[in-house]
Structure 1
Amino acid sequence: MPTQTMKAIRLHEFGGPEVLRHEAVAVPEPAPGEVLVRVHAVGLNPPDWYVREGMPGIPPEFRPPFDLPLVPGTDISGVVEATAADVHDFTVGNEVVGLLRFPVVMQSGAYAEYVTAPAADLAPKPPTVDHAHAAGLPMSGLTAWQYLIEVGHDHPSPFQEDRHRPAALNSDTTVLVNGAAGGVGHLALQLAKWKGAHVIAVASGAHETFLRELGADEFIDYTKERPEDVVRDIDLVLDTVGGPTSRRFLPTLKRGGALHPVYFGEFDHEENARLGVTVTGTQVRANGAQLAELGRLLDAGTVRVAIDSTFPLADARAAHERAAQGHIQGKIVLTVA
């Protein structure tokens, strides 16, 4: 063990960004099946601020228990510092990236200098990508992958009984990505293009150049026109914003089309059947094998992670304040000295 204590971000109460404290805590020890990772960068995700706030918008029956104080965060890029005796896939010195324990544990202690990680949740860090960009990949990349390419697990969504099955994407497919400039959106756009689809990106006008550089075939500035008013005969809508307003995209779909809201809203099964469309979602889950596939695409330059902004670990509060401002282009990342 390299040190007895480390610096980490902890919250002792729920609330705004001001509850995030930079303080000394004990270095964790890897349990069987785990490794200890020296963290170099941490990717921020919406569950980080949902948990920080105490998940007030989640019905009590879906709200997992949290023991305070807790160290937030799930997405890391770093270097293996130590391994449990039963871990053979990784050795000390390996550079790794991972989405840790999600959603079994909503926050896994990633906002820290060291974190323990299940070996099965890790993948090799793409060698041509730095730690900051690698840390932006796990949750957003796996969300896009599990919605568009392969679910990779048989766990039902907590919000619906229907199982999610990704639609086949090819050169005959038209995909609309709402919220295309965000963490999930900009990676989903690139995965859809990788599969040959024609992609319509929806975001505010400030992101048009960025999204066209990523491969968007068409762009809709939602501040000037509503996509549901101007497009029809779409094969697939990936709504990374989701929620109660997601059903507004139903008229854009052709019969046989599908709507995938990342944050599930309220839908009417009878209406969906009448329109001849499918509405399904899933909950992203940690998956080291899928993350390795994404890493190979990143390493080859087929997909890239865009960074909106970076903050030192000690400035996690400022990073959460940036997230609250919205209009994020890519990912917010914490760097660990």
Structure 2
Amino acid sequence: MTEIKVRINHISKVYENGDGIRDIDLEIRNGEILTLLGPSGCGKSTILRCLGGFQGVDSGHILIDGQDVTELPANKRPTSMVFQSYNLWDHMTVYENLAFGLKLRKMAKSKIREKITAMLQLLRMPEVVKKYPSQLSGGQQQRIAIGRSLLLEPSVLLLDEPYSALDAKIRQQMREELKRIQRETGVTVAFVTHDQEEAMALSDRIVVMDKGSIAQIDTPQNIYENPINRYTASFIGEMNFLDQGLDVQAFRPEDATLSAEHGDFLARIDHVSSAGHYGIITLTYQEQPLKIFVDKVALAQYQPHQQVYVTVNKAKTYGAPALTAGKSGA
């Protein structure tokens, strides 16, 4: 049976403007990367701050390793937070930044040196030990910030959109680095992001947030293949929605095919473009926009204003037009 590292029992935190979280019930498993995903204002960062002790709760309880930490301040909890801004001290070297928290714990100098040497090896950055943060790239600074938190040996590592300031290529590299570091250390990670690609690439499970509530909890694959409501379906990946009166048919662009001769319905091509390794066809059917992915080799046979048949190979049906919110464990 999987060990539960964190239990969040029916916590609520509502701000004066009405934003916040309501009746959040959530478990984080030992050694997993759990990602809180959603748009700005959905409550994902509020959950992380409540978990780390940076924000009190109105009701409910938070347990880590079986201990109720609801009333404990941040510095008394077995968690460590990595913020968007890294929070490295510019006047300190990398070594001094990494050593800071260990010195506060009255650790012996020789032990501090041993632990920092091992951490820089884990981060694959032994050569930066004497450098200052201003001499490092954004990705390097972020790795040092993560390393500083890991040196404190937290039960749960909290990451609040740590890669938001990095460009796309570096973000991808950092995601791979985080997965490697997490795999080698076995630390439990709670990760906040609004980037669905980041969530899909990183996570063991994803918590999709919607206006202060949980819309769905599941593995990335299950959330992509089986979104339980229209909100999740519209938020994760590309999705076409065809209004059919009482119901809405939803299907991914890769789950439909085009033909000049036969299909489920006839649509007009509006635009043809290449995404490199595949083609993108945008169409209109009964004044409803659609997007279909095609093989890059087949792209040349399609032109704007052309009439083509669309066959939907896999679809889900949702009620229209309400965006219902549900919850699913995994």
TM-score range, shorter chain: under 0.3
Q: Normalising by the residue count of structure 2, what TM-score does the alignment of the two structures yield? A: 0.23
Q: Normalising by the residue count of structure 1, what TM-score does the alignment of the two structures yield? A: 0.22
* Larger strand share, 1 or 2: 2
